[in-house]
Structure 1
């Protein structure tokens, strides 16, 4: 009989880092483990559900599309009903805020699930109603100890954000591992993708992430506008979708940058698009430990991060951290220009030594599940 795990609060909206992580774990799991997903939101891409199904994974929607006032309560009721009808040995709940861990953990405990894992993936709140979300986060944080059997975070910062009252020794840090072989630098793929995107020898700055407050796209546009003053033929490749995309597209038009900025949309082949870039930037307002930052460095890309991101994201000597204030835009521009001259190479061995291969993450997950 297989060991049954339910991954909770996972969806493919914006092809998030959490989804990428869980999908990779599912693709690399042993045959004797059944992993299903309980999603609070509808999946955007039916193909992703079909791909998960090829590994034996079911995607169950336990969300609610009515009033946001009672949404969390309805999610609790739907998840509780599902867990009472379907046996799982372990529930693994992923979130950026304690309130979502709380409702899922409470449902799992009431349903009699023996192992309840809480997994922190961020260091702040995102989206609308930030003050309300932050309040609910702080109110529910102390209650997590009543429901969780295991406490996990992707970084020290994410652990402090989610578990301030839990002893450090009781919190496990698990790296957001990836398939290093899939992302390693390949000059042939780089040439093919750049040709497809009609790039010549120009400098290509890249970013992958949903259009939201967290990812700070407005600052990206400001950096790029200043970069064009020194490198007029540079290109900016933006991969992702999100609630702020229309606003950023409008900003690009106002700044007359349309010819130099590419809004690519979503992609299931980020590993190939990373090959086409010269420098990767992530000026986020906050992150747990960004999986896309790991992916970029696995592709041998110089990466420039916001100084709000944990230093644990620095896996290569070429990675840098800069402030995201007005006076630092020139530093971002100078660093991008300097980094674009770095010779690309296969860096997968370095990340393997740092235990960022998906096999290392799978081992860590299995140690929790078993």
Structure 2
């Protein structure tokens, strides 16, 4: 169960897990069955849209209870705040034996771009009483959950997984994407990927890149969102519109990553950092301001950089000068392969089910 199925990190991660689970699954979206719903349906998984029209539609709890009871699900697994609040309560009212939560996006001050008010916390912790276990996608998330009031014994750290086939380097796609956007084949392309949201701080990357872009050096922004207009104005203010490409929302992640030579992640807060792992899996080097997923991984293919334009510019300029070829990071594959990650989730279901017998 998930709040919506527009394109986003949690939504795409759910799809990857569904593609590798050993269990039969259905998906319920509270509302907004967007592009990811179509992807999941194309994989042969049933997706139901509850059709909620407001965030305070209490009748949805009863509708969910009836749906869960009629289908006699063994496990209900909720993703994202609103689905947690409604889904965990409905599952318990329906008598579901195992209820699991995955927490993707708890920051220091916000939960999924929602400020952590007393009301938000009360609803989350209150319905947590209906959940048997919470999966934290990183140690950082686990620590924040404990500090917020979730009992440590209920928390299991299982990271997000990388589907290496989905992000594999594709030389043909590299040329095609560059041609589509008028980027020369021999240009050095720095890229960012994700929702155009203020927390991502893509403005820092634009400010850092402004003196560096030219006919041979380009900046490619992949994604869409509320911050796009502000970022486009910033590009015009720098006078670099000819060298910055806004590609919009794209689903061909491997192709877009393959078109890049350097990946930059500039978020103010991050609970995992899947995009950095996907960039590394595609073979390119990456720079990041924060990425819990990289904790404990020793590699020169990715490094943390300061969150200010001047020092970020120096690091980007170094990569442009070196023009490092693509290379593999074996530790990423060992630790974050989607098959192993999904297996750990499936095993958690089984352990919780056995404990209920």
Shorter-chain TM-score tier: 0.7 to 0.9
| Aligned residues of 2:266 and 2:289 also touching (Cα < 8 A) | yes
- Describe the SS at the equivalent of 2:287: strand
Pair 1:234 & 2:234 matched: no
More deviation, 303-312/79-88: 303-312
- Describe the SS at the equivalent of 2:250: coil
Pair 1:337 & 2:325 matched: no
Paired with 1:360 and 1:10, the residues of 2 have a C-alpha distance of 26
Paired with 2:281 and 2:98, the residues of 1 have a C-alpha distance of 33
Q: 29, 32, 37: which one pairs with 1:39?
A: 29
Per the alignment, residue 225 of structure 1 pairs with 210
- Describe the SS at the equivalent of 1:214: helix
Pair 1:323 & 2:306 matched: yes
* TM superposition shift of 1:346: 4.0
Instruction: Give per-residue Cα distances to partners, 1:194-246, cap 9 Å, x unaligned.
Output: 34433222221111111112222322322222444xx6742111111112222
Per the alignment, residue 8 of structure 2 pairs with 16
Paired with 2:299 and 2:292, the residues of 1 have a C-alpha distance of 15
Per the alignment, residue 332 of structure 2 pairs with 351
Pair 1:301 & 2:284 matched: yes
* 1:1-370 correspondence to structure 2 within 5 Å: 7-11=1-5, 13=6, 15-30=7-22, 33-45=23-35, 48-66=36-54, 68=55, 70-71=56-57, 73-95=58-80, 97=81, 100-124=83-107, 125=110, 130-131=114-115, 133-164=116-147, 165-166=149-150, 168=152, 170-200=154-184, 201-228=186-213, 233-307=216-290, 309=292, 311-312=294-295, 316-324=299-307, 328-340=308-320, 341-347=322-328, 349-354=330-335, 356-370=336-350
TM-score, normalised relative to structure 2: 0.86
- Describe the SS at the equivalent of 2:241: coil
- Count of paired positions: 345
Paired with 2:212 and 2:235, the residues of 1 have a C-alpha distance of 14
- Describe the SS at the equivalent of 2:25: strand
| Aligned residues of 2:100 and 2:133 also touching (Cα < 8 A) | yes
* TM superposition shift of 1:90: 0.8
TM-score, normalised relative to structure 1: 0.83
| Aligned residues of 1:296 and 1:303 also touching (Cα < 8 A) | yes
* TM superposition shift of 1:145: 4.4
* TM superposition shift of 1:265: 1.2
RMSD: 2.7
* TM superposition shift of 1:137: 3.4
CA 311–52 in structure 1, closer or farther in 2 if over 3 Å, else same: closer
| Aligned residues of 1:274 and 1:299 also touching (Cα < 8 A) | yes
* TM superposition shift of 1:249: 2.2
CA 313–21 in structure 1, closer or farther in 2 if over 3 Å, else same: farther
Paired with 1:322 and 1:63, the residues of 2 have a C-alpha distance of 43
- Describe the SS at the equivalent of 1:183: coil
- Describe the SS at the equivalent of 1:286: coil
